[in-house]
Chain A
């Protein structure tokens, strides 16, 4: 009897897994099937032409890369600094717990809210024009709670004995954190950072009001220029374009590119984790 229940349970779990996998596979298959015909080197390296009905998506790739980089430059020091403070310095009291809970909650805030927040702070508040900079900072805010959480986890995983080893040699707390704890935590921090990047690269809502453009004739020349981005371009091609049916293959190829970027980032994170796991 027990055996039968177990078998039944196993079959159920297996079915669930297979269903999920086949849905995923179906989506991927569909995208690749419809996108592949126009997905080529020219598509990746050229500007859109004739009202986006032809040509490539180079400016969108360029813009997404830059805006993601800016978001990292903005969020990395803040996030790591905050995590180091919380994990290494903050006393274990109500206030610290409140900060931690807030950070966790921030991770659950819908991304459109970040977009509006970025709009009101960076653009209306500070008067910076909608641009790579403002969009990058907004995306940075979005990934911040995620970076803080993964960095804290990586720091927590550094053995107590390693810290004590440094302190017992007469290291100050900062010397211990800086020269022993942080280097030990680098693989974990890096993994979290890249996963955060891949999330930022795929977001549309936060950049919607903060700098992304429907179409730009030139590549952004400074951080204060507007830019094109992959997820937004995809959104335009698939819902807002005047000749939707005609641009369908382009939309699919754009989706393919975006997936590829996200996949590459995740794969890198995976490799880093695998390399450093002992």
Chain B
């Protein structure tokens, strides 16, 4: 396998006394798209949110093990979490644009990163909106409220907002679950176009989606990674009985 961008080693996660992730080992390939699949409640979101330390907001979440980003364990106490989240961006299940204009949404990340040079900000707003296939639709409405965009446009705006801070990794938690099929295929196309440039991890319930976009797929069950491999192998010739049943649609 090629270069590993993020290496999860022996990761356990507890919410209070309840163990939600059990001894996770997973290597996330650099520039690749990795899908996390599995039945509801198996811990996909929890695992994804560990990767940019979103659980810090939760006082009773406890993590042990290692998550190596390049050569640094991000679970280590001396990690600068703000800096980490600039390197590891996130797109959520429901589109969550800020209640500001379209342009300000994209500019938000640049501004908190200290970029205030107006022409440069403008230029990068356009560039990010183009990369997220949104420019054509919103170039005349940059100063309108982002909340007036359609759901699919809002989600692409959230992706534009994420890439505007030039992260190395982008995490998606079921980014299409609130969208119609056409918006969904636009997002998938977008994610594929960002391949190589970013390392991407996507949680999905949609097995066709995983097969369409992902290079690698991890199947999770009850807090464990049961099987991990190339997407084609996971879906065509799963080794594990549970994986076989899940991808055949026997439970979900």
Contacts of A175 in B (CB 8 A): 112
Map CB proximity to B onto A259-278 as digits: 1 under 8 Å, 0 otherwise.
00000000000000000001
Residue in chain B with minimal CB distance to A159: B96
Our pick among B83, B84, B92, B98 for the contact of A180 (Cβ within 8 Å) is: B98
CB distance from A230 to the nearest CB of B (A): 38
Whether A162 and B108, one on each chain, are in contact in the complex, defined by CB atoms closer than 8 angstroms, is no
Contacts of B109 in A (CB 8 A): 169-170
Contacts of A159 in B (CB 8 A): 96
CB distance from A216 to the nearest CB of B (A): 46
Question: Taking the complex as formed, is A171 at the interface, i.e. its CB lies under 8 A from any CB of chain B?
Answer: yes
Whether A164 and B86, one on each chain, are in contact in the complex, defined by CB atoms closer than 8 angstroms, is no
Question: Taking the complex as formed, is A166 at the interface, i.e. its CB lies under 8 A from any CB of chain B?
Answer: yes
Whether A164 and B112, one on each chain, are in contact in the complex, defined by CB atoms closer than 8 angstroms, is no
Our pick among B57, B59, B100 for the contact of A183 (Cβ within 8 Å) is: B100
Map CB proximity to A onto B83-127 as digits: 1 under 8 Å, 0 otherwise.
111100110101011111000000011001100000000000000
Our pick among B57, B100, B165 for the contact of A170 (Cβ within 8 Å) is: B165
Question: Taking the complex as formed, is A184 at the interface, i.e. its CB lies under 8 A from any CB of chain B?
Answer: yes
Question: Taking the complex as formed, is A32 at the interface, i.e. its CB lies under 8 A from any CB of chain B?
Answer: no
CB distance from A156 to the nearest CB of B (A): 15
Contacts of A179 in B (CB 8 A): 108, 112
The size of the chain B interface, using a CB distance under 8 A, is 27
Measured between alpha carbons, how far is A106 from B246 in the docked complex, in Å? 58
Contacts of B92 in A (CB 8 A): 161, 164-165, 168
Residue in chain B with minimal CB distance to A173: B82
Whether A166 and B108, one on each chain, are in contact in the complex, defined by CB atoms closer than 8 angstroms, is yes
Measured between alpha carbons, how far is A108 from B96 in the docked complex, in Å? 39
Whether B57 and A165, one on each chain, are in contact in the complex, defined by CB atoms closer than 8 angstroms, is no
Our pick among A92, A171, A278 for the contact of B112 (Cβ within 8 Å) is: A171
Question: Taking the complex as formed, is B132 at the interface, i.e. its CB lies under 8 A from any CB of chain A?
Answer: no
Map CB proximity to B onto A156-191 as digits: 1 under 8 Å, 0 otherwise.
000101101111111110010001100110000000
Q: Which residues of A contact B (CB under 8 A)?
A: 91-92, 159, 161-162, 164-172, 175, 179-180, 183-184, 278
Given pairs A164-B90, A165-B96, A170-B85, 8 additional interface contacts (CB within 8 A): A161-B96, A162-B98, A168-B52, A168-B162, A171-B112, A172-B112, A175-B112, A180-B98
Q: What are 13 A-B interface contacts by the 8 Å CB criterion?
A: A161-B92, A161-B94, A162-B96, A164-B90, A165-B158, A167-B54, A167-B57, A169-B85, A169-B161, A169-B165, A170-B84, A179-B108, A184-B99
